[in-house]
Structure 1
């Protein structure tokens, strides 16, 4: 039975890119089969997500390095944030102590010093086989929503202060948090999905994954579309750096050469959070232009609509493109006509 479950999940993972184009009614059927197998697999392995498997750590300008652990009994300090209350959520097989989470936390507190940043460590549920961790995002998102509701209902925090940022599976979990809040009449102002996970989510109907209705603004950065990341637009505003699939400086994987499959495998996927952290610290440097794939092919993007990555006030909608350097600093800063010429070539091959 275990082998059968693993085989089904492997097939689903490999063919996720193909099934993303099937009708939504069939997606619902496929998802129900997958969900049933995942629940059965969780029962076999004894893996269940409970609140004690998550760690919430609060940082502010008084506690930049050594944060304080949070639970429902000590949320008092968080309510005093005058600017933003930012939740940062890592992805699969990761934790809240990895460098990028701490770098992003520091970036937010540098630019928004009167804010609070809450990192969520769900490394236990995130370290299960991918098929199970992907199901765990539902519970993780619900626990995050519960804390937000406690802050709103018990400590009179304005929901407009909240910002949810999640990478990979963390981006999908943020969507579930938004859905739960809406079920009780609350809507988040903004969710930022950093290359939200694609495998086993591209086969889901929209209401079972991150989608444009999960917050007033759902901002998505696609850096590894069609592999680890979600390929198609799934926000109110979607950014596609370098076309959204391959990132400069990331080694291409040769399936005939096993030595090429080590570190580079997640390089493109990770660039989403690297770009975003740099964008927070350098407002205006990543200037993106609104395009559709059609207008991009013919180099006729709408130059009248530009927005910098990291602008946490924009309400523009659509698909936006920008080019990066292959190493830090990633921002080109001057995004001239060459951007459209170079990115358009991606869609010709």
Structure 2
């Protein structure tokens, strides 16, 4: 099925003549499990003027305020600060970004800042990877300028980063610590942190558990797009195929779970199906904002986890909530399954144990 989708994507790309050849080469390599070429990052330049940070709140639900050095005061210091960072081949107008903002602001008032780094994301994968730490520096500058290094507000700040955006979040968290002599962001939610280009590199060049007081990792495509090893305070591995957990999602590729923008070209409209396993991390997280029903069980390893299992098979009675409502007092690796269509969360189906809240 993956090879068929790959062929369809390539045909579509040729027909619409949109993606540059190096992007197609990178997609080829990632799907085949071949590390994409990264190259020398020393000459990479990222300009602040090419990035866009847009603020949304209850007063600006649709038409956000583009932040710069002159209007930081528009961010309400009494409210939580939540940053959303997209990934490769994306921008901040993707349906999942709009949906995440909408769901948050339909329930609570907060400062929602979407980070658009698309000039450096919509190029070949290696060049996008090289841009990650430089984009992260500007993200950390924004956070520091907004919070003025206030530990209370930093503790009330979180970043939701998808794929490459998760590593931007992690490195930004490291930069914030450098600027504040060790103060940390409250939370990073990593939505299937990217694997290619980040395996076997030092922790200060990627997301890891020390980049915020609490780092949640949601793994949905470890075999191809995602970062397989645990890297969070807590790591959730979603769905089990054969003896692999967190690498393939039920219902994919037919139902990626995210909205497709009708204004996108053919190439962009094909991407959610191709990226279905990884983009599901975003779909699950968006649903979790209003749900307590993504319940994972703490397990010693994937082999011990059986979908619709009795908890004794994992040697554990600990279950906890994945996503926005994940409590801050949990750690370790948790496993869960989902439905193949919305709603994805199964609730207590197939689990019997003690809920850790």
Please give the range of the TM-score, normalised by the shorter of the 2 chains.
Answer: 0.7 to 0.9
Q: Deviations over 1:283-336 (max 9, x none)?
A: x11111111215437922412343343225422101111111101111112232
Matched residues in 1 for 2:207 and 2:151: separation? 27
1:193 aligns with 2:201: no
Q: Is the 8 A contact 1:194 1:273 kept in 2?
A: yes
Which of the residues 138, 144, 160 maps onto 1:165? 160
How many residues in Structure 1 have an aligned counterpart in Structure 2?
302
Matched residues in 2 for 1:121 and 1:262: separation? 18
Runs (5+) with no aligned partner, structure 2: 1-21, 240-244, 255-269, 307-311
1:336 aligns with 2:350: yes
Q: Is the 8 A contact 1:168 1:194 kept in 2?
A: yes
Higher helix proportion: 1
Matched residues in 2 for 1:74 and 1:263: separation? 35
Counterpart in 2 of 1:24? none
Runs (5+) with no aligned partner, structure 1: 18-33, 253-260, 340-349
Q: Deviations over 1:82-117 (max 9, x none)?
A: 3x1100000001000110001001111122x22110
Counterpart in 2 of 1:267? 276
Q: Is the 8 A contact 2:33 2:224 kept in 1?
A: no
Matched residues in 1 for 2:94 and 2:280: separation? 15
Give TM-score scaled by structure 2 length: 0.77
Q: Deviations over 1:200-259 (max 9, x none)?
A: 10131222111111111110110111211111111110111112111000039xxxxxxx
Matched residues in 2 for 1:248 and 1:163: separation? 29
Q: Is the 8 A contact 2:216 2:235 kept in 1?
A: yes
Counterpart in 1 of 2:246? 244
Q: Is the 8 A contact 1:109 1:116 kept in 2?
A: no
Name the Cα RMSD after superposition. 2.9
Which of the residues 220, 230, 235 maps onto 1:233? 230
Give TM-score scaled by structure 1 length: 0.79
Matched residues in 2 for 1:105 and 1:55: separation? 16
1:102 aligns with 2:98: yes
SS at match of 1:302: coil
Q: Deviations over 1:168-205 (max 9, x none)?
A: 10001001101111112221111111001100101312
Q: Is the 8 A contact 1:221 1:240 kept in 2?
A: yes
SS at match of 2:54: strand
Counterpart in 1 of 2:48? 51
Q: Which runs of 4+ in 1 moved over 4 A?
A: 13-17, 154-157
Counterpart in 2 of 1:72? 69
Q: Is the 8 A contact 2:236 2:322 kept in 1?
A: no
